[in-house]
């Protein structure tokens, strides 16, 4: 980032007419610019005027963090217009197709045959030499030779006799979406600023503007990909939770126990967002979302270990007291089983959490070690940070925060919830039997 700042200061603004952007190499698939606004409509001139108005309104808002607003339209692309005089062309017996094909062949070339070497074929292109091809006079003065249908004689007519040439400028290219012309306003975000926060500030600015009928705007690019990724990860989390619940219901033959276990997954997200807010870390949609999905499996495992052991102790206590395994255990014995299970499973639950957290710490802080250099030259080149930490760090911190918080829930909230629900069911059955 420091090098990018120095390059931006040294380059941008020092070359009039040049559009220069300094940005780092993107990791992963392309997602577009952090700030990407598409303005669409039918009439191109009106669309340009609306785009200028949008840029002016955004600049008036003085939103910090925007590097420089630009549009994806090249307004000054040079153009050579060849205007054919159709009356003169008809007098000479020429068609506009003949004139256009001749100019295109001379300039861009035309495939006339193939050259074969073994099994490989190479196209043979017919076109003017470079010294004539890039010369307007040579292009316009070349002759078109054809046989006159009336006299049967060969006739040669220069293109300049039936066409005029003029120089102008035009648009580089015109983008269309759903048959509407589109101009994209884009910009990078300066270091230290969050793209989502800036886009949230831009939305009320654009909402306050009045767009004519048939003209609209939309936020695309990185923000659009973020929303799509968020939707995918939410669906993935719901599917994962649903599968876990089905398996737990089948294993425990109960609905209450899976609900107690899955409540820790919901509560673990409190630790995730609380940790991110406490240490002022960014919520990275993809990697943080993957961390939450993976966190669900680890948190559920600790809850299963504790609930299953409570059930095992209760079964053994019923057998020792001569109670039918299908009947409920009295309140006092139930509390004793819950307490004993908490004491016994305290070590495995803590070890699972601690080993997972400590194993993720190097990835979270970006610990880098050159093992080849360590073994060959005793130089590990130890340092923290780098692009890998930026990419994998959010996922690691998500699991660390969520698992640390969920471990406390597993050891305190899960036994409490289990006993409260068991006690409620036990007392309800006693009252129902008396009635």
Domain endpoint, select from 133, 152, 170: 170
Q: Tell me: the pLDDT tens digits for 96-125? A: 998 999 999 998 888 889 998 888 899 999
Sign of the C-alpha dihedral, residues 194, 199, 202, 203? negative
What's the whole-number mean pLDDT along residues 164-186? 84
- Beta-carbon contacts of 240 under 8 Å, excluding residues fewer than 6 positions away, are 293, 296, 297
Q: Phi/psi of residue 27, each to 5°?
A: -90, 135
pLDDT at 27: 60
Please check whether residues 214 and 274 belong to one and the same domain.
Answer: no
C-beta separation of 288 from 394 below 8 A: yes
With a cut of 60, say whether residue 128 has pLDDT above it: yes
Is 31 inside a domain boundary? yes
Please check whether residues 281 and 382 belong to one and the same domain.
Answer: yes
Q: What CATH code is carried by the domain that includes residue 199?
A: 3.30.70.1440
C-beta separation of 276 from 397 below 8 A: yes
Helix (H, G, I), strand (E, B), or coil: what is residue 4? Answer: helix
pLDDT at 201: 92
Reading the block at residue 175, the tokens are 């983008």
Taking the model in full, what pTM does it have? 0.64
Give the pLDDT band (50/70/90) at residue 399.
Answer: very high
Is 416 inside a domain boundary? yes
Helix (H, G, I), strand (E, B), or coil: what is residue 129? Answer: coil
Please check whether residues 237 and 143 belong to one and the same domain.
Answer: no
Q: What CATH code is carried by the domain that includes residue 129?
A: 3.30.2090.10
More reliable by pLDDT, 427 or 387 = 427
pLDDT at 411: 85
- The Cα–Cα gap between 181 and 378 comes to 61
pLDDT at 378: 84
Please check whether residues 204 and 240 belong to one and the same domain.
Answer: no
Please check whether residues 327 and 377 belong to one and the same domain.
Answer: yes
Total domains in the fold of the chain: 3
Please check whether residues 233 and 211 belong to one and the same domain.
Answer: no
- Give me the domain span that covers residue 201: 23-72+175-220
Please check whether residues 269 and 124 belong to one and the same domain.
Answer: no
With a cut of 70, say whether residue 435 has pLDDT above it: no
pLDDT at 29: 60
Q: Which residues pair with 291 in a beta bridge?
A: none
Is 17 inside a domain boundary? no
Of the CA atoms within 13 Å of residue 236, those in its CB half-sphere come to 16
Burial class (CB in 10 A: 0-12, 13-18, 19+), 210: exposed
Q: Tell me: the pLDDT tens digits for 216-231? A: 999 988 888 888 888 8
Please check whether residues 289 and 423 belong to one and the same domain.
Answer: yes
Please check whether residues 156 and 230 belong to one and the same domain.
Answer: no
Nearest to 288 by CA among 403, 157, 394: 394
More reliable by pLDDT, 396 or 13 = 396
Please check whether residues 283 and 363 belong to one and the same domain.
Answer: yes
C-beta separation of 189 from 196 below 8 A: no
Please check whether residues 258 and 362 belong to one and the same domain.
Answer: yes
Is 164 inside a domain boundary? yes
Is 3 inside a domain boundary? no
Nearest to 130 by CA among 160, 155, 108, 102: 108
């Amino acid at each position: 980032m420091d090098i990018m700042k120095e390059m931006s200061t040294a380059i941008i603004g020092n070359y009039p007419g040049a559009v220069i952007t300094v940005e780092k190499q993107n990791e992963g698939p392309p997602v577009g610019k952090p700030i990407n606004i598409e303005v669409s409509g039918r009439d191109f001139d009106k669309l340009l005027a609306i785009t200028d108005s949008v840029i002016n309104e955004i600049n008036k808002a003085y939103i910090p963090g925007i590097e420089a607003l630009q549009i994806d339209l090249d307004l000054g692309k040079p153009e050579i217009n060849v205007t054919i005089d159709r009356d003169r062309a008809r007098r000479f017996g020429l068609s506009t197709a003949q004139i256009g094909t001749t100019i295109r062949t001379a300039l861009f070339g035309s495939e006339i045959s193939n050259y074969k070497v073994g099994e490989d074929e190479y196209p043979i292109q017919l076109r003017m030499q470079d010294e004539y091809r890039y010369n307007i006079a040579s292009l316009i003065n070349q002759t078109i030779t054809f046989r006159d249908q009336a006299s049967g004689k060969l006739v040669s007519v220069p293109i300049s006799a039936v066409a005029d040439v003029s120089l102008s400028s035009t648009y580089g290219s015109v983008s269309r979406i759903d048959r509407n012309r589109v101009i994209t306003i884009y910009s990078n975000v300066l270091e230290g600023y969050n793209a989502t926060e800036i886009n949230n500030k831009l939305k009320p600015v654009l909402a306050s503007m009045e767009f004519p009928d048939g003209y609209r705007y939309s936020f695309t690019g990185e923000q659009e990909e973020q929303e799509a990724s968020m939707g995918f990860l939410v669906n993935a989390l719901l599917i994962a939770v649903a599968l876990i619940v089905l398996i737990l219901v089948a294993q425990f033959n109960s609905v209450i126990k899976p609900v107690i276990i899955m409540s820790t997954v919901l509560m673990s997200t409190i630790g995730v967002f609380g940790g991110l807010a406490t240490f002022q870390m960014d919520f990275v949609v993809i990697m943080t979302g993957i961390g939450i999905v993976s966190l669900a499996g680890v948190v559920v495992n600790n809850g299963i270990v504790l609930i299953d052991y409570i059930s095992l102790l209760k079964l053994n206590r019923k057998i020792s007291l001569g109670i039918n395994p299908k009947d409920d255990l009295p309140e006092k014995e139930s509390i004793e089983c819950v307490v004993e299970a908490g004491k016994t499973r305290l070590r495995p639950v803590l070890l699972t959490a601690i080993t997972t957290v400590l194993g993720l710490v190097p990835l979270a802080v970006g610990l880098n070690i050159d093992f080849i250099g360590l073994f060959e030259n005793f130089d590990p080149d130890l340092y923290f940070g780098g692009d890998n930490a930026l990419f994998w760090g959010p996922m690691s911190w998500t699991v660390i925060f969520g698992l640390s918080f969920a471990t406390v829930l597993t050891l305190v909230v899960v036994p409490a919830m289990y006993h409260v629900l068991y006690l409620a069911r036990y007392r309800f059955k006693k009252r129902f039997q008396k009635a």
